[in-house]
Structure 1
Amino acid sequence: MTSPPLPRLHIERKVRQNVETALADTRVVLIAGPRQAGKTTLARMFASDDRPFMTLDDAGTLSAAKSDPIGFIRGIRRAVIDEVQRAPDLMLAIKESVDRDEEPGRFLLTGSANLATMPAIADSLAGRMAVISLFPFAQSEILSTPGRLLDRLFDGEEPATGDEAVFGGGLVDVVLKGGFPEVLRRSTAPRRTAWLEDYVALILDRDVRDIANIDQLDRLPRLLNVLAEHAGQLVNHSSFGAALGLSSVTAQKYVAILERLFLVRTLSPWSNNRLSRLIKTPKLHFVDTGLLAALREDEAERLARDRTRFGPLLESFVVSEILKLASWSERRLAFSHYRTKDQDEVDVIIEDRRGRIIGIEVKASATVKPDDFRGLRQLQDAVGDRFVRGLVLHDHDRITPFGEKLQAVPISVLWTM
């Protein structure tokens, strides 16, 4: 099944309700996520005569905000401010304003950089700001399905497939497109790749300058290509740096910048005192698999010839879809991965505030064997009653049980529940 180009019509964003709720009780609300993910479109829905919209992508507005941030904010009762990372000093002026007037919903901000990782900003707005993540479209948004997989699994429900599971060539098509709205509107792979190449160039040329001072800006495109070939693998800053003539420390700094810009995402290693020989290294993923495929020059024909290249794409796709599901869930969820020195692993561990755990392993093959559950069984034994379920998500259309709370499940369960 090949999906058609996305028409130019409104697709309901599932985090919209989260934004409405936060504006009702919090002074500052930040919608954070990659450029071109739909933050501006969503934020404009909350703009009105009483809450005017202004964007720092406008040169005049940006100049005013940078030259006199306190004067820029003074006299504004409520506002929507787009791309606020372009004038970081504005955040301190906003803090001063909302400390004088504590009315909820005063400022709705959007940011294409993770401002929560900037200590000065995070500390200044602690307790005053709610951060809501907005990623490129999830499949459940595109298809108007519930998108409640994580909530339903933690509630004890069994996984269930929908009427039309997506597998084979249809799954490859979905993964290669990713979720950026502008990409989904383009009907051919060359047109999608052209947009993504321009997108990366814009971010690396302009947005990096807004959040960091780096000496070797020309290294970032090459670093991004190196990271693309290491997607789904353990982070190795020494190896990344060596490929570009950078030190390990510098490579680590540059990877952190790319993560702050929502291009890549690292999963921390999971730890447990009952298990020894755990590898304590983060794992690297890309936030959007359309972008990852473009960087790797992976297209349907190449993946058909070399199926091994589909695995890293599929794993990043699953991680991205899970992060999207979590972004509108009311549960506070933590994400990590598990790997031992014997190479037993669980690709994604999802843990709620009560310490309950769901383990997910990703396989690009249609066939699943009992040995594919080895890491999940180790995890189940280690956490005992806290283990909710272990799933091997793979390229198939049926659910197959492999033991108590262990099942092989189609990838499309990510959007059919």
Structure 2
Amino acid sequence: MLSVDTDPRVPFLMGADPGSLLEGDVPRLIDEWQIQPHLWDLARHTIDRRQVKGQFIFTGSTAPTEELTRHSGAGRFAHVTMSTLTMFETGESSGAVSLAALAEGETPNYLESGLSFDELVETMCRGGWPDNVGLTVQDALRSNREYLEQVAHVDIRTPDGVQRSPERVNRLLASLARNVGTEADIQTLAKDVGVSRDTVVDYLDALSRIFISVDQPAWSTHLRSKATLRKSPKRHFVDPALAVAALARQPRDIADDPEYAGQLFESFVVHELRAYSDEQVYHARLNTNLEVDAVVQLNGRPLLVEVKLGHYPHVVDEAASTLTRFASQLEVEPVLLVVTGGGPAYTRADGIVVAPVSLLGP
């Protein structure tokens, strides 16, 4: 492994013998490579010379600019966006309800979930960073808040070296946190933060480039009806625990605020779906305001998902009705799934699958 940001040999060898930095057992991990972008081109040529796959793993905490990767590396590099750990990876989900199995038409039998509401809230507040696993909730909350302070004062400059106001960054992070899982537009965020639209666009771009904020784009497909799909994205953090940190909330605060807990839970489920499917997760809203919370393309077949923190029959019935009505607008037959915060997993008589997040898996 080569740590470009901490290895003292790197600056000297980049001028004297840069190719030697790529030598070693393969696959060779090159961490924070974007600090020395010439390594990208060196690796391209090394791959061409060796004609062997699996030579290098380039990782970085910042998305590179187009200038850094002027040569795309097509046919040589595959791009993978990493996620924080899911409940399946931390062992808090059994993975018994598999997205891949649902795409193949398999449906679950009745299964009980053992996760309590308080445990779910603590999981959402703790976050999925590997270093947080094993920490107390309070220590994890403190670590997340310190991380955001680092983002506001240092990391926000990383993509382009531009100095940005830490106070404004913190206000924008708080605004994103209040609006997590919603279609808050640029004007709403600008008014909330007290800056111009252009400033918000610039700051959002920087936060996206350092993998802090992530938009859930609107789905686009052909409909049977004359209804049209709206195009506004939903706002999320790369891990919803950052929303809790940005607002300096405690798990009890989340549990005592059902409306916000529902927003945060929807963002949490989108995080899990994105990791389990390894696909883009969309949302869909018609101009009639009929909407579904998440859409994932699985093997060419759309999975429509409604997210409900509660799991009582009337809550599930409402979600199932929404899915059925939305599905009737589509030209293809989708898989329909209601993800809940608790309760059992089962398949309804109408074929709609109901599953708590603690039973979901890839």
With the shorter chain as reference, the TM-score category is: 0.7 to 0.9
Question: Residue 110 of structure 1 is aligned with which of 31, 54, 59?
Answer: 59
Question: Residue 200 of structure 1 is aligned with which of 138, 144, 148?
Answer: 148
Distance 2:287 2:218 in 1: 13
- Residue-by-residue CA offset, 1:137-190 (whole Å, 9 max, x unaligned): 21112218457721111111103565543242222222222211222322242x
User: In the alignment, which residue of structure 1 is the partner of 2:19?
Assistant: 73
User: In the alignment, which residue of structure 1 is the partner of 2:178?
Assistant: 229
Given the alignment of the two structures, is residue 249 of structure 1 paired with residue 194 of structure 2, yes or no? no
Given the alignment of the two structures, is residue 125 of structure 1 paired with residue 78 of structure 2, yes or no? no
Equivalent position amino acid for 2:37 in 1? P
User: In the alignment, which residue of structure 2 is the partner of 1:398?
Assistant: 344
User: In the alignment, which residue of structure 1 is the partner of 2:240?
Assistant: 289
Question: Residue 284 of structure 2 is aligned with which of 318, 334, 338?
Answer: 338
How far 1:304 moved relative to its partner? 3.2
Distance 1:369 1:320 in 2: 21
How far 1:384 moved relative to its partner? 4.5
Secondary structure at the aligned position of 2:78 is classed as strand
Distance 2:42 2:158 in 1: 18
TM-score by length of 1: 0.76
Secondary structure at the aligned position of 1:347 is classed as strand
User: In the alignment, which residue of structure 1 is the partner of 2:264?
Assistant: 313
Given the alignment of the two structures, is residue 352 of structure 1 paired with residue 298 of structure 2, yes or no? yes
How far 1:293 moved relative to its partner? 1.5
Unmatched 5+ stretches in structure 1 = 1-52, 328-332
Given the alignment of the two structures, is residue 370 of structure 1 paired with residue 317 of structure 2, yes or no? yes
- Residue-by-residue CA offset, 1:346-391 (whole Å, 9 max, x unaligned): 111001352x11111111223315332344223322334431x211
Bigger CA drift: 307-316 or 168-177? Answer: 168-177
Equivalent position amino acid for 1:412 in 2? S
How far 1:63 moved relative to its partner? 3.1
Does the CA-based 8 Å contact 1:167-1:397 persist in structure 2? no
How far 1:338 moved relative to its partner? 0.5
User: In the alignment, which residue of structure 2 is the partner of 1:379?
Assistant: 326
Unmatched 5+ stretches in structure 2 = none
How far 1:97 moved relative to its partner? 3.3
Equivalent position amino acid for 2:325 in 1? Q
What is the aligned length? Answer: 353
Equivalent position amino acid for 1:298 in 2? R
Identity %: 25
The 5-angstrom pairing of residues 268-307 of structure 1 reads 268-274=217-223, 275=225, 276-307=227-258
How far 1:75 moved relative to its partner? 7.1
Equivalent position amino acid for 1:81 in 2? I
Equivalent position amino acid for 1:343 in 2? N
CA RMSD of aligned residues (A): 2.7
Secondary structure at the aligned position of 2:310 is classed as coil
Q: 1:353 to 1:88 in 2, by over 3 A?
A: farther
User: In the alignment, which residue of structure 1 is the partner of 2:273?
Assistant: 322
User: In the alignment, which residue of structure 1 is the partner of 2:189?
Assistant: 240
TM-score by length of 2: 0.86
Equivalent position amino acid for 2:317 in 1? P
- Residue-by-residue CA offset, 1:56-114 (whole Å, 9 max, x unaligned): 2316245347x63x942357345321122333343233323333443322222211123
